[in-house]
Amino acid sequence: METMDVRASGYDFGAAHAAMRRYVDGDILSGVSSAILVGRDLVDVNCVGWADREAEIPLRLDHIFRVFSNTKLVTSCAVLLLFEEGRLKLDDPIELFIPQLANRPVLRPGATALSDTEPAVRSITVRHLLSHSSGLSYGIFDPGTVIFKAYNEHKMLNPATTLTDMMETLAELPLTFHPGTSWEYSVATDVLSRLVEVASGQRFDEFIQARIFGPLGMVDTGFVVPEKSRSRLTAYYAGADPMDPMKPGLGRIDDSPYPGAYVRPVPRLSGGGGLVSTLPDMVALVRSLLPGGSTLLKPETIAAAMTNQLAEGVWMRFPMLGELQGKGFGLAGGVILEPSPLDHAASRGELYWGGVAGTQWWISPRANLAGLMMTQRQMAFAHPFAREFKRLAYEAVARAR
């Protein structure tokens, strides 16, 4: 396990710790663990609250979390390792590796039926997939739309099917826009996990174990929690009101998103959201992308991963939030090009992402700062607790300089 010794003094994160205690005491979070790095040095590590509220098990550094879309950072790194080896190019059309995704139809604007399509003007590329500009969807965020209904009717996220099965299913469905012309959070990263298999000749789990987890000492990261480690898997909770993230009250949902999730193997090795991990393991991964020591990827590859890949005038967009102006997307996560009123002013250039249950990470080259948070509350990626913690972390580091 990655050493979690704090290596620097002179920083006061008391306000951030107190804020997280407030969320736990207010019945909004069960518990939250966090780590802050300045350069590659840990300057703060904190655990507050419970891994299991009902059993009154305090949260520890070795507890295991469902990291959901934190998985995407691992998958992006896997693809970029293959890119560095020359096994693929960022602008390769995906059909070179996954023929089922050639010759995509695209829904016409305002389409009311899956058949209302036109031919795509270009192929999906690896770069489009890494930056979520491929035209694929998720079937989660846009209920009522043609593509939402189609993805759910086709059981796109069915864990009982393999990545190969998923590619066959995707081949039956149109894109929501022409590749490279817009942004939509999607199953693109699951397509990338299949790409890793084809380009490497290994199963996705075998490749990331051999090339990422093993070398970085990520001993508790994988698709299944081993039986000997089950006692360390944190409980999973839903808020009292999905439309009001600050309403007190938590209900236990350990069998979400499906019965036995993460405690028994399933055929789908989801590069988009299938991993469990710990705070120390995620610190090891994030640290491997920071300058000043040995890195998983070449410096120029990391720089490209942190550079916006979207076309001029294209921003991230979620149906319920609208267009997030100033938010681009790199090869490994979101990129803050222009901080919003909710972002710290020093966050310009920050690379970040996280999972639906509140596990998240960020790297800020300009501030020489990186951070991680781990909690288990459904629909907590954009929760107020995370924005508050990040703001207080930036402020604490700035005060110490």
Answer yes or no: do 336 and 319 share one domain: yes
Answer yes or no: do 198 and 257 share one domain: no
226 contact partners, CB below 8 Å, separation of at least 6: none
Question: DSSP label at 211?
Answer: I
Q: Which domain holds residue 183?
A: 76-204
Domain edge (last residue) among 159, 177, 204: 204
Query: Cis omega before residue 257 (within 30°)?
Result: yes
Under the phi-then-psi rule, with left for phi > 0, alpha for psi from -120 to 50, and beta for the rest, what region is 100? alpha
Answer yes or no: do 254 and 133 share one domain: no
- Cβ atoms of 237 and 65 within 8 Å: the answer is no
How far, in Å, CA of 347 to CA of 333, rounded? Answer: 14
Answer yes or no: do 172 and 271 share one domain: no
- Cβ atoms of 105 and 195 within 8 Å: the answer is no
Facing residues of 363 across strands?
351, 370
- Cβ atoms of 93 and 127 within 8 Å: the answer is no
- Cβ atoms of 114 and 159 within 8 Å: the answer is no
- The runs of H, that is alpha helices, within 236-337 are 279-287, 299-305
Q: Residue 395: in which H helix or E strand, if any?
A: helix 384-399
How far, in Å, CA of 321 to CA of 147, rounded? Answer: 19
Predicted confidence at residue 42, as pLDDT, reads 97
- What DSSP string runs through 125-191? BHHHHHTT-SS---SSS-TTSHHHHHHHHTTTT-TTS-HHHHHHHHTTS-BSS-TTSS----THHHH
Predicted confidence at residue 46, as pLDDT, reads 97
Q: How many domains does the chain have?
A: 2
Predicted confidence at residue 1, as pLDDT, reads 63
Query: What are the φ/ψ torsions at residue 177 (nearest 5 degrees)?
Result: -160, 165
114 contact partners, CB below 8 Å, separation of at least 6: 107, 146, 150, 173, 174
Answer yes or no: do 196 and 327 share one domain: no
Domain CATH number, residue 134: 3.40.710.10
Answer yes or no: do 299 and 337 share one domain: yes
Q: Is residue 6 part of a domain?
A: no
Q: Is residue 290 part of a domain?
A: yes
By CB atoms closer than 10 A (0-12, 13-18, 19+), residue 138 is buried
Of 371, 372, 331, 367, nearest to 349 by C-alpha is 367
Q: Is residue 214 part of a domain?
A: no
Answer yes or no: do 277 and 339 share one domain: yes
Q: Is residue 175 part of a domain?
A: yes
pLDDT means over runs of 10, the chain (401 residues): 83 97 98 97 97 98 98 98 98 98 96 96 98 96 93 96 98 97 98 98 98 98 98 98 94 94 97 98 98 97 98 93 95 97 94 97 97 97 94 96 79
Answer yes or no: do 224 and 145 share one domain: no
- Tokens 């890119």 found at: 83
Q: Answer whether 0.85 is exceeded by the pTM.
A: yes
Domain edge (last residue) among 204, 236, 267: 204
Answer yes or no: do 65 and 80 share one domain: no
Answer yes or no: do 52 and 197 share one domain: no
Three-state DSSP class for residue 359: coil
How far, in Å, CA of 71 to CA of 173, rounded? Answer: 25
Three-state DSSP class for residue 265: coil
Q: How far is CA 69 from CA 23, 85, 152, 166, 310, in A?
A: 23, 25, 19, 18, 20
Domain edge (last residue) among 204, 237, 272: 204
How far, in Å, CA of 90 to CA of 96, rounded? Answer: 12
Of 12, 4, 25, nearest to 385 by C-alpha is 25
